[in-house]
Chain A
Amino acid sequence: MKACLPPSPDKTAPAQTVSDRVLEVEELRTYFYTRGGLMKAVDGVSFALKRGETLAIVGESGCGKSVTALSILRLVADPPGRIVGGSARLDGVDLIELDAAAMRAIRGNRISMIFQEPMTSLNPVMTIGRQISEALILHQALSRTAAMRRATEMLQLVGIPEPQQRIREYPHQLSGGMRQRAMIAMAVACNPEVLIADEPTSALDVTIQAQILDLIGRLQKELGTAVILITHDLGVVAETAERVIVMYAGRKVEEAPVAALFASPLHPYTRGLLNSIPRLPSIERRSDGPPVQRLQEIPGIVPALSNLPPGCSFAPRCAFASDVCRQAYPRYEEKQGGHWAACWHSDKLAGAANA
Chain B
Amino acid sequence: MAVIDHDVELRRAGAHVRGWGGALVHFMRRYPLGAIGALIMLLFIATAIFADQITSYDPTSTNPRVSLAPPGEQHTLGADFMGRDVFSRIVYGARISLAVAIGATALGCLIGVTIGLLSGFFGGWVDLIVQRLIDIMQALPLLVMALIMAASLGPSLTNTIIAIAIPLVPNVARIIRSNTLALREMPFVEAARAVGMSEARIAVQHVLPNTLAPLIVLATAQFGSAILVESALAFLGLGVPEPHPSWGRMLSESAAEYVRTAPWLVIFPGIAISLVVFGTNLLGDAIRDILDPRQRI
Interface residues of B in 170-199 (CB under 8 A from A): 186-188, 190-198
A244 to B184 CA separation, bound complex (whole angstroms): 34
A104 to B205 CA separation, bound complex (whole angstroms): 16
Of the residues B190, B195, B209, B212, contact of A134 by C-beta under 8 Å: B195
Give the A-B contact count at a CB cut-off of 8 A.
62
Contact pattern, A 106-132, Cβ under 8 Å of B = 1, otherwise 0? 111100110101001111111000000
**Whole-angstrom distance between the Cβ of B23 and the nearest chain A Cβ:** 18
User: Which residues of the partner chain A approach B205 to less than 8 Å between Cβ atoms?
Assistant: 126, 134
Of the residues B192, B193, B209, contact of A125 by C-beta under 8 Å: B209
**Whole-angstrom distance between the Cβ of A199 and the nearest chain B Cβ:** 12
A353 at the interface (CB under 8 A from B): no
B210 at the interface (CB under 8 A from A): yes
A139 at the interface (CB under 8 A from B): yes
Are A186 and B195 in touch, CB under 8 angstroms? yes
Of the residues B186, B193, B206, contact of A75 by C-beta under 8 Å: B193
Interface residues of B in 194-229 (CB under 8 A from A): 194-198, 205-206, 209-210, 212
Are B186 and A120 in touch, CB under 8 angstroms? yes
Interface residues of B in 92-106 (CB under 8 A from A): none
**Whole-angstrom distance between the Cβ of A230 and the nearest chain B Cβ:** 14
User: Which residues of the partner chain A approach B206 to less than 8 Å between Cβ atoms?
Assistant: 123, 126
Q: Given A123-B206, A125-B212, A126-B206, answer yes or no on A109-B188 (Cβ-Cβ < 8 Å).
A: no
Are A122 and B196 in touch, CB under 8 angstroms? no
Residue of A nearest to B186 (CB): A120
Are B188 and A107 in touch, CB under 8 angstroms? no
Of the residues B191, B196, B212, contact of A104 by C-beta under 8 Å: B196
Are A75 and B190 in touch, CB under 8 angstroms? yes
**Whole-angstrom distance between the Cβ of B61 and the nearest chain A Cβ:** 51
Q: Given A124-B210, A125-B210, A126-B209, answer yes or no on A108-B194 (Cβ-Cβ < 8 Å).
A: yes
Residue of B nearest to A117 (CB): B187
Of the residues A112, A115, A139, contact of B187 by C-beta under 8 Å: A115
Are A122 and B191 in touch, CB under 8 angstroms? yes
Contact pattern, A 168-187, Cβ under 8 Å of B = 1, otherwise 0? 00000000000000010010
Of the residues A117, A120, A125, A138, contact of B195 by C-beta under 8 Å: A138
Contact pattern, A 133-144, Cβ under 8 Å of B = 1, otherwise 0? 011001100000
Are B196 and A115 in touch, CB under 8 angstroms? no
Of the residues A113, A120, A123, contact of B194 by C-beta under 8 Å: A113
A324 at the interface (CB under 8 A from B): no
Residue of B nearest to A116 (CB): B187
Of the residues B186, B187, B195, contact of A108 by C-beta under 8 Å: B195
Residue of B nearest to A73 (CB): B194
Q: Given A104-B198, A126-B206, A126-B209, answer yes or no on A121-B188 (Cβ-Cβ < 8 Å).
A: yes
User: Which residues of the partner chain A approach B210 to less than 8 Å between Cβ atoms?
Assistant: 123-125
A105 at the interface (CB under 8 A from B): yes
User: Which residues of the partner chain A approach B195 to less than 8 Å between Cβ atoms?
Assistant: 107-108, 112, 134-135, 138, 186
Of the residues A106, A107, A120, contact of B193 by C-beta under 8 Å: A107
Q: 9 closest Cβ contacts across the A-B interface?
A: A108-B195, A107-B196, A108-B196, A120-B187, A113-B194, A121-B187, A123-B188, A121-B191, A104-B196
What 14 new A-B contacts, CB under 8 Å, besides A113-B194, A121-B191?
A75-B190, A107-B194, A108-B194, A108-B196, A109-B196, A113-B191, A115-B187, A115-B190, A115-B191, A117-B187, A120-B188, A121-B190, A134-B205, A135-B196
In the complex, 21 of the A-B residue pairs with CB atoms within 8 angstroms, ordered by the A residue number, are A73-B194, A75-B190, A104-B198, A107-B195, A108-B194, A108-B196, A112-B195, A113-B194, A115-B187, A117-B187, A120-B186, A121-B190, A121-B191, A123-B206, A124-B188, A125-B210, A125-B212, A126-B205, A134-B195, A135-B195, A138-B197
